[in-house]
Amino acid sequence: MTDDSPDHSIDISEEDGVRYLHFGSEWIQGAMRIRRPWALELDYTREMMAGLLLRAAPWPKSALLIGLGAGSLAKFIWRHLPQTKATVVEINPRMPFAARQFFKLPDEDERLQIRIGDGAELIARDRRRYDLILVDGFDHNARVGALDSLPFYQHCRERLSKEGLFATNLFGDRRGFRASVERVREGFAGRALVLPACAGGNSIALAAAGEPLAVPLAELRLRAATVKRETGLDLKPTLSRMQLAAAMPDGVLQL
């Protein structure tokens, strides 16, 4: 594997009780409310967990996270989804130390493993399958490189289990956004939907592999209530946005 480790700085700022991660620029790469370190502070990170509405618990049993950042998603899974074994791939070898020091990322254990490397290269050669793949791999210039390519999306689809779901963070107001969406859709044979952009411009693309999804709206609402009760994560706003993004014939979300 080539050494493509980023050479940008890792910067921390705080404002109004929220700690932010930056990569040598003003772009926010992660955030944690200091009094609620296990909660998903940024709205796009909450939408990345929309799969909890689409598959019934106890799901997922395994997760692959490409991009660690402040560790928000890894922390949420470790804290609130005890059935899930998560593997995180992070290209910057300094990032896990910063996430532990400033963002309360837990130490590695039997349910959380962190690997240093290129996520696109790993997914191309990996042969394991995962119930959930989450991709959030922007650099300091808000670029994702190979993590937004058709081969990458195709490899991710191949690595999903029969109940596999995929989510990736895109910038809805970035040039090339529509091309990114088309690559996701092509990579997943059309089984994808894209949520409207969040306030910060992030837009989450969701995709599925394996068993077809057909979930009645009433069941989605019930799952949202269960997730809120068990984890504190409010996915009702996400569900409303999913209704805008997905066709629901007869009140059933199909993917």
CB 248 within 8 A of CB 201: no
Is residue 43 part of the annotated active site? The answer reads no
Tell me 72's DSSP state.
Answer: H
Task: Output phi, psi for 196, to 5 deg.
Answer: -55, 150
> What does 112-140 look like in DSSP terms, one character per residue?
EEEEES-HHHHHHH----EEEEEE----T
What are the C-alpha distances in Å from 7 to residues 116, 140, 194?
15, 10, 32
Task: Output phi, psi for 168, to 5 deg.
Answer: -135, 150
Catalytic residue among 118, 131, 136, 148: 136
What strand order describes the sheet that includes 160-171?
Answer: 112-116, 85-90, 62-66, 130-135, 160-171, 202-208, 192-194
199, two tokens: 């306030």
CB 50 within 8 A of CB 195: yes
Distance in angstroms (rounded) separating the CA atoms of residues 162 and 165: 9
Query: Could you list the active site residues?
Result: 136
